[in-house]
Amino acid sequence: MPDDPLQHQFEQAITELRGLCDEDVDLAERKHRLGVRKELNKLHGLYTAWQREMDAADDTESETLTEIRQHLEPLGLADYGTPLPELARLAALKITEK
């Protein structure tokens, strides 16, 4: 068993879902079992933990994009407020011109 109880619950849920896909059960039974598994996942906090991880990743990504913008905008390649992908494209063009 893994040291992290949440990891254990996640692995158990995956194993159960894989087994359900392999079993020969009718659609109604499959839907019932999936509903039960979904409720168990909620009770074990799997969705909440995943959402916290995603939020943390979004915060980090947002900070990184802000830093990139802060480096590119002062170069004067385009007007302030230009979308970041366009700033990156213009910076790449400038680099390859030299």
Does residue 70 sit within a domain?
yes
Which structural domain range is residue 83 located in?
Answer: 57-98
For 2-56, what is each residue's pLDDT tens digit? 577 767 777 777 777 777 666 777 888 878 877 877 777 777 676 676 667 767 7
The answer to whether residues 72 and 35 belong to one domain is no
Does residue 93 sit within a domain?
yes
Does residue 40 sit within a domain?
yes
Tokens 């909440």: give the residue.
48
The answer to whether residues 32 and 8 belong to one domain is yes
How many separate domains does the chain show? 2
Does residue 50 sit within a domain?
no
Q: Is the pTM of this model over 0.75?
A: no
Distance CA(15)–CA(8), nearest Å, equals: 11
Residue-level pLDDT at 25? 75
E strand residue ranges, 1-98? none
Structure tokens at 35: 């509903």
The answer to whether residues 23 and 61 belong to one domain is no
Distance CA(49)–CA(55), nearest Å, equals: 10
Buried b / exposed e over 64-81, threshold 16 CB at 10 Å, is eeeeebeebbeeebeeee
